[in-house]
């Protein structure tokens, strides 16, 4: 049986190569979100990083997807791509007030992605975290920090992230820091090693291992084999887990996500009785 606390998905839903190996032949582009949301359980939206969307767009996404589906939104880049993060207040407010609450119960974590060149400066970073709102309208917000410079792999960063209850992306990549230290009550994972030569992007054994890791995280456990900064235990209560197949061989992302979901007990809408 699928653990309701585990979500698995991809980045976006509009990608031409997916029309050859994921979407049914002849499916009109306007139906792609509806189809993808019934094969997966979450989507990370990258478009919100580059552009500002309006409330009717978020309402439309909510209407086109199943009740138990979740959108993770990447926050607008103007909030994070700046020299002084303490001055991001206006950009943060503009993004949060753009109508994201129209997603209702389908509003998942907000991802604040920082440039790989952004160095951790404790005082400025804490000033940024203090600006992050707890709600959008009446919707409670959950924040995720996608930090990409090695300087963030420190106890000082972990302390701040935990103080403000922000999750930290576990990034399975050689290009960015990958640390499994938990800093909030949910886990956010970006898997970036899919390979074009493999039909499902990942080898079966690797998918088996990620399924077990997701279950362990969801139960409150800690995967011992993953790299961590701190030796302090963070295992505890059950957690929500979000896993996204991002980058790597992007054309394989849907197959990888569906293969992982299958291992976790999920049945796509077309297969449900």
Let me know the angle formed at the C-alpha of 52 by 150 and 48, rounded to the nearest 5 degrees: 40
* Length of the chain in terms of residues written: 273
- Within a 13 Å sphere around the CA of 96, how many CA atoms are in the beta-carbon half? 24
d(CA 256, CA 207): 8
DSSP calls for 181-236: ---SSEEEEEE----TTSTTSS-HHHHHHHHHHHHHHHTT---TTS--S--S----
Nearest to 257 by CA among 36, 93, 33, 58: 36
Determine the pLDDT at residue 179. 85
Q: What is the pLDDT of residue 188?
A: 97
Instruction: Output phi, psi for 12, to 5 deg.
Output: 75, -175
Residue 13: which of 99, 77, 98, 71 has the closest Cα?
A: 71
Residue-level pLDDT at 2:
65
Residue 10 is predicted with a pLDDT of: 98
Query: How much is the pLDDT for 1?
Result: 56
**Closest-CA residue to 240 (of 108, 140, 110):** 108
Q: How far apart are CA 113 and CA 76, in angstroms?
A: 9
Closest CA to 237 of 188, 186, 189, 168: 186
What is the dotted CATH code of the domain comprising 6-271? Answer: 3.20.20.410
Two tokens, residue 55? 């409330």
Per-residue pLDDT in tens (0 to 9) along the chain, 273 residues: 567 799 999 999 999 999 988 999 999 999 999 999 999 999 999 999 999 999 999 999 999 999 999 999 999 999 999 999 999 999 999 999 999 999 999 999 999 999 999 999 999 999 999 999 999 999 999 999 999 999 999 999 999 999 999 999 999 988 888 889 999 999 999 999 999 999 999 999 999 999 999 999 999 998 888 888 876 656 678 999 999 999 889 999 999 999 999 999 998 875 443
Q: What is the pLDDT of residue 77?
A: 97
User: Which pLDDT does position 232 carry in this prediction?
Assistant: 60
Measure CA of the first residue to CA of the last residue in the chain; give whole Å. Answer: 14
């Amino acid at each position: 049986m699928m653990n309701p606390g585990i979500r698995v998905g991809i980045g976006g839903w509009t990608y031409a190569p997916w029309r050859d190996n994921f979407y049914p032949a002849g499916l009109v582009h306007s139906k792609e979100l509806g189809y993808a949301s019934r094969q997966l359980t979450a989507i990370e939206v990258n478009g919100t990083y580059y552009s500002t969307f309006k409330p009717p767009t978020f309402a439309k996404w909510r209407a086109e997807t199943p009740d138990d589906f979740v959108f993770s939104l990447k926050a607008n880049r103007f909030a994070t791509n700046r020299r002084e993060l303490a001055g991001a207040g206006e950009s943060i407010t503009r993004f949060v007030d753009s109508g994201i609450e129209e997603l209702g119960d389908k509003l998942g974590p907000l991802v604040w992605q920082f440039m790989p060149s952004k160095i951790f400066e404790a005082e400025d970073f804490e000033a940024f975290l203090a600006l992050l709102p707890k709600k959008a309208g009446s919707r409670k917000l959950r924040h995720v920090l996608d930090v990409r410079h090695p300087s963030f792999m420190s106890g000082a960063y972990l302390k701040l992230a935990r103080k403000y209850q922000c999750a930290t992306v576990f990034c399975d990549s050689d290009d960015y820091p990958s640390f499994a230290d938990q800093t909030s009550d949910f886990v956010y994972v970006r898997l970036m090693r899919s390979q074009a030569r493999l039909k499902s992007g990942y080898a079966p054994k690797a998918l088996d291992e990620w399924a077990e890791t997701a279950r362990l995280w969801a139960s409150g456990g800690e995967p011992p084999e993953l790299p961590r900064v701190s030796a302090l235990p963070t295992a505890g209560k059950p957690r929500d887990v979000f896993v996204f197949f991002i980058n790597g061989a992007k054309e394989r992302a849907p197959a990888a996500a569906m293969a992982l979901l299958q291992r976790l007990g999920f049945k796509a809408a077309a297969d449900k009785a």
